[in-house]
Amino acid sequence: MKAVKFDYKRPATIDEACCLLAGDHNARILAGGQSLIPMLSMRLSRPSLLVDIAHIAELTQFIETDHHIEIGAMVRQAVAQVNPLVKTHIPLLAKALEYVGHLPTRARGTIGGSIAHADPSAEIALVAITLNAEITYQDGEDDVVFDASDFFIGPMLTLAPPSGCLVRTGFPKAPAICGTGFHEVAPRRSDYALASAAAQISASVDGRIEKIDVGVGSVGDFPERLKVDALLTSDLGDDTISQVLHAAMADIETVEDLHASAAYRKRVATELAIRAVRDALNEIKKGTRQ
């Protein structure tokens, strides 16, 4: 099958891209193309205009602020995977990127494209929600900022403004002492995950656990953070971790399809979350990030 006919524009600036989007309600942004091109070929997407943002230099930057590492929408996944700022300050993202597609798809796929596409099984979206990243769109002359926990509203559905262009995602910088864990189950390595889980735990210099962030993906309409505050007041033994995460997953609505049942997804996601939390704790104990 071939794509329907469409116009193609290659803006040189974000402002130009936003003008093109504002002038055509059926326009679509082309970033890395790893998700959009197959959808065009199968006519699941039928845009009248493709706005290619690949040559906007501003969208390829890494910017370090006091509290965030801001990653431009056009930063390639393979570039982010080896970037020193990501490795040092967003170790959970660096770990998750190993599971994204294959090396050739990571070489073309972008951080922003994955977030904007909002696939429920996307590893980058899961990390964004787990860490509650800030997602910034430019809409006309204004910046619109979303918390990742609010941004995703359904499978491939977000709160993105129709005429806006995603410009950057700000991931919170990890504290000096922290541990991370990421696991997923897929039919084959690099296939879409049937269930996934991410965890980041931060501690004080004296070893006291200060913050625990846990998220699960591939089980519902979008990735979700788990309510695990009870872990902060417990001994963090294996039994306690299991009990708290089973209780947290009980509130998560899982979906069923041809690949896995809802019950399977819930059971596997719970186990993966337990493993991710244990991995994060073990990293802290070993002083990996100190």
Domain assignment of residue 1, yes or no: no
**Cα–Cα distance between 244 and 234 in angstroms, integer?**
10
Quote the radius of gyration of the chain (alpha carbons, Å).
Answer: 19
Same domain for 143 and 45: no
Q: What is the pLDDT of residues 86-123, one digit of tens each?
A: 999 999 999 999 999 888 889 999 999 999 999 999 99
Contact partners, residue 21, CB within 8 Å, separation at least 6: 27, 29, 51, 162, 163, 164, 165
Could you tell me the pTM of the whole model? 0.93
Q: What is the pLDDT of residues 212-231, one digit of tens each?
A: 999 999 999 999 999 999 99
Same domain for 275 and 225: yes
Number of domains in the chain: 3
* Residue 288 pLDDT exceeds 70: no
Domain assignment of residue 32, yes or no: yes
Model confidence band, residue 1 (pLDDT cutoffs 50, 70, 90): low
Domain assignment of residue 245, yes or no: yes
Same domain for 38 and 106: no
Same domain for 209 and 142: no
* Residue 203 pLDDT exceeds 70: yes
Take residue 133 and report the two structure tokens written for it.
Answer: 């990243």
Q: What is the pLDDT of residues 223-255, one digit of tens each?
A: 999 999 999 987 889 999 999 999 999 989 999
**Cα–Cα distance between 267 and 50 in angstroms, integer?**
41
* Residue 290 pLDDT exceeds 50: no
**Structure confidence at residue 98 (pLDDT):** 94
Domain span holding position 43: 7-52
DSSP 39-57: HHHTTS---SEEEE-TT-G
Same domain for 208 and 258: yes
Higher pLDDT, 190 or 261: 261
**Cα–Cα distance between 125 and 60 in angstroms, integer?**
18
**CATH number, domain with residue 11:** 3.30.43.10
Same domain for 63 and 44: no
Mean pLDDT of the chain: 92
Overall average pLDDT of the 75-87 stretch? 97
* Residue 289 pLDDT exceeds 70: no
Domain assignment of residue 21, yes or no: yes
